[in-house]
Amino acid sequence: MTKIADLPDFDVADYLKSDEDIAQYLNVVLEDGDPALLAASIGDVARARGMTQLAKDTGLSRESLYKSLSGQRAPNSDTLFKVMKALGFKLTVQPLVH
């Protein structure tokens, strides 16, 4: 019988290999509507791409990025847009389907 402690750690960042993977992942998270979950998911993407490079590209410190993208709170809009732009993505708006 396999014990949970014997299972390998799962990190979604290990599976975010392409822009398409990342876009699908973030779109699913956006549908949930939870700002903290979105922050944590962007943090997953940031780790997949490299937090050090993201810090350089945004002008924010690594510590600030880790804190903002931890999922403990939602990042402010300035940080959100800087990070998304540096990662090469944009947020879009579409009407809700009723």
pTM attached to this predicted model? 0.85
One DSSP character per residue, 36-85 reads HHHHHHHHHHHHHH-HHHHHHHHT--HHHHHHHTSSSSPPPHHHHHHHHH
Average pLDDT on 73-81 reads: 91
* Ranges of each domain in the chain: 12-87
Cα–Cα nearest to 19, from 49, 47, 54, 39 = 49
Model pLDDT, residue 66: 94
Tell me which DSSP letter residue 32 carries.
H
Model pLDDT, residue 40: 95
Q: Is residue 56's pLDDT more than 80?
A: yes
Instruction: Kindly indicate the confidence band of residue 6, based on its pLDDT and cuts at 50, 70 and 90.
Output: confident
